[in-house]
Amino acid sequence: MKLMMLDDLFVEEMQDLYSAENQLVQALPKIAKAASSPELRRAFENHLEQTKGHVRRIEEIFSNVEGSPKGKKCVGMEGLLKEGKEFLSDDIQEEVRDAALISAAQRVEHYEIAGYGSARTHAQELGYSQAVTLLQQTLDEEKEADRKLTQIAEMRVNEYAK
């Protein structure tokens, strides 16, 4: 896709986020299953449901913006998930695996926070008020997921992994 205007960049960003979220929908069940901490497993399962909602929000945005959410593969998310997959091995002590899963998940969250923040700003510049609202909701949820992962790590998981 040729990027000639901010609109083009916005569509490209939204397609990238759509691909990223769909990749997460596929990966999160495996990640949740690998977690030994019940609290961490629940956090991943809850975030899976949120992630499905993020996909729906992007589809809603595209119902009001020219273009399709499909057509781009998010190689950034693909790389992050590939790195995180290394921690699904049985060769890692389970408490250490939980700490590693949190670390990998926070990398994903930070990647999404950057993507949604930029897309929200571009939607604002373009006057897409509904998209701004939906993107801000998702951005808030991604920040909360990151905060929750930090809380789980600091309250239990990291101590057990020592």
139 located within any domain: yes
For residue 106, what are the domain limits?
Answer: 6-161
Task: Specify the number of domains making up the chain.
Answer: 1
| pLDDT for residue 132 | 98
1 located within any domain: no
Q: How many CB atoms lie within 10 A of CB 60?
A: 14
Phi and psi, residue 47, nearest 5°: -70, -30
| pLDDT for residue 91 | 85
CATH number, domain of 112, equals: 1.20.1260.10
Residues in the chain with pLDDT values less than 50: none
- The beta-carbon contacts of 83-92 under 8 Å, at least 24 apart in sequence, are 83/107, 84/27, 84/31, 84/108, 85/27, 87/34, 88/30, 88/31, 88/34
- Which residues lie closer than 8 Å to 139 by C-beta, 6 or more apart? 113, 116, 117, 120
| pLDDT for residue 156 | 85
Indicate the residue type of 80.
L
Question: Which residue in this structure is represented by tokens 């950034």?
Answer: 76
Q: Is the dihedral of CA 82, 153, 134, 27 positive or negative?
A: positive
Q: How many CB atoms lie within 10 A of CB 31?
A: 24
**Structure pTM?**
0.94
